[in-house]
Amino acid sequence: MTTHTFDVVVLGGGSGGYAAALRASELGKSVALVEKDKVGGTCLHRGCIPTKALLHAAEVAEHVRDAASVGVTATLDGIDPAGVRAYREGIVAKKFKGLEGLVKARGITTVAGFGRLNADRSISVGDDVYVGADVVLATGSYSRSLPGLEIGGRILTSEQALALDVIPERVLVLGGGVIGVEFASVWRSFGSEVTIVEALPHLVPNEDIAMSKGLERAFRRRGIQYSLGVRFQTASQDENSVTVTLEDGKEFTADYLLVAVGRGPVTADLGFEEAGVKLDRGFVTVDQDLRTGVPGVWAVGDIVPGLQLAHRGFQQGIAVAERIAGLSPVNVPDSQIPKVTYSSPEVASVGVTEDAAVTEHGADAVASYEYNLAGNGKSEIIGTSGLVKVVRLKDGPVIGVHLLGDRVGELITEGQLAVAWEAHPEDIAPLIHAHPTQSEALGEAFLALAGKPLHAL
């Protein structure tokens, strides 16, 4: 057994873990980063980046399909799965190389192997022991399934769906949250017959109801089918197809079933509880500064209850490294973190929904405004419909911004600034949005809420 001593030992090299490692080394700490697979984690290798590459390929297919509508002569001859794979893998490989170079350049010691937390807070990797004055747990998440629904064969998680080398003729998606909706969007653009099964009454059920309804309308127009409000009961498969039965007896049959019902924390059998780290339904219990109850042991990313997003992991990793170095970074509540669903159309939001605002503050204290993208020149040009919705407290700040439409994910940063800086629409109304941009739609909503609508009533 060899013992290695560092200022900081990080377990898990995904978004949360590598951000903690990078920032800690920048602040002069010696850092070991333990990773059993590849630095970059879920987001880079199986999540954000490869799925957004797929969605871009899907967007290109749609543009070619619709080219005649803008006077361009082109025909979509088909989708080449091997070509899409090469493009997607090329992007991931480039980003991975860049990240590996950065980690090396910062002088971080990468330890390849499976790590376990010991009772004395050290981390074992094989016969080696890594001792850190501080330890950051960042082991991430895995695709969940439902009781009685076994993954395998034609029943896929997002990992297997990404690796699929065929375009399914018919595909079922169990779960109408972010991951399910994004894959449904890709497959439809590639020509599949797609049906989404969601137990709750709406697609993207965590979003403002106006966005869910708008996405449902847009998906219906695209020919994406969905069943809402009825729970899954069973699934069976043979060598040709898979059949899903719902609790009301309805059946759906397709070539494949994607199970996208959420992600669970990777915290079992890693020695966490034996070392005194408290878990709640598998998630690590932390205080507002991301400290576990064990002195010097911190947790970041998807194992911490809340939004499971890469940029939240980055932010938490940075904050923990800074606290370890004696700095006092601000806490960023989940309500200030932007969320984007990158389907066509996209859904983007920050802050609270109108329903949540009314529940918290009462209907009389809340005002909202919806601006339809039909009135926005740039949206008309790129051929997207959609909606901007801003929620404010009456005579008070903006507390929620909700967007629907192609490319609106790029606009959410303005909403985030408004919500996090507690701006009043009156503060933003004099700030001019470039014409013609989609951001003007947001400007119109702020103008209207400030009592001076321009291109609206």
- Name the residues annotated as catalytic: 435
Q: In angstroms, what is the minimal distance from the CB of 146 to ligand FAD? A: 17
What span, in angstroms and rounded, lies between the C-alpha atoms of 382 and 377? 9
In terms of DSSP H, where are the helices of 325-452?
354-361, 377-382, 412-420, 425-428, 439-449
Q: What is the DSSP letter of 155?
A: E
Q: Residue 197 corresponds to which tokens in the numbers above?
A: 């099964």
**Which residue, 179 or 449, has its beta carbon nearer to ligand FAD?**
179
Q: In angstroms, what is the minimal distance from the CB of 163 to ligand FAD? A: 12
Q: Which value, in Å, is the radius of gyration of the alpha carbons in the chain?
A: 23
**Which residue, 53 or 419, has its beta carbon nearer to ligand FAD?**
53
Residue located via tokens 């088909």: 78
What span, in angstroms and rounded, lies between the C-alpha atoms of 158 and 308? 15
What span, in angstroms and rounded, lies between the C-alpha atoms of 223 and 93? 34
Q: What does each C-alpha distance from 266 to 40, 57, 259, 275, 301 come to in angstroms?
A: 16, 31, 18, 16, 11
Locate the DSSP E strands across 23-114.
31-35, 109-112
**Which residue, 263 or 402, has its beta carbon nearer to ligand FAD?**
263
**Which residue, 322 or 427, has its beta carbon nearer to ligand FAD?**
322
**Which residue, 284 or 399, has its beta carbon nearer to ligand FAD?**
284
Q: In angstroms, what is the minimal distance from the CB of 253 to ligand FAD? A: 25
Q: Position 380: which residue type?
A: E
What span, in angstroms and rounded, lies between the C-alpha atoms of 339 and 18? 21
**Which residue, 402 or 433, has its beta carbon nearer to ligand FAD?**
402
Q: Residue 181 corresponds to which tokens in the numbers above?
A: 């909706």
Q: In angstroms, what is the minimal distance from the CB of 270 to ligand FAD? A: 5
What span, in angstroms and rounded, lies between the C-alpha atoms of 225 and 207? 20
Picking from 358, 352, 176, 158, the residue whose alpha carbon sits closest to that of residue 263 is 158
**Which residue, 218 or 303, has its beta carbon nearer to ligand FAD?**
303
Q: In angstroms, what is the minimal distance from the CB of 113 to ligand FAD? A: 7
Burial of 374 (0-12, 13-18, 19+ CB in 10 A): exposed
Crossing angle of helices 48-65 and 178-189, rounded to 10°? 40
Site of interaction with ligand FAD (CB under 6 A): 11-17, 34-37, 41-43, 46-48, 51-52, 114-115, 138-141, 158, 179, 266, 270, 301-302, 308-311, 313, 342
Q: In angstroms, what is the minimal distance from the CB of 402 to ligand FAD? A: 17
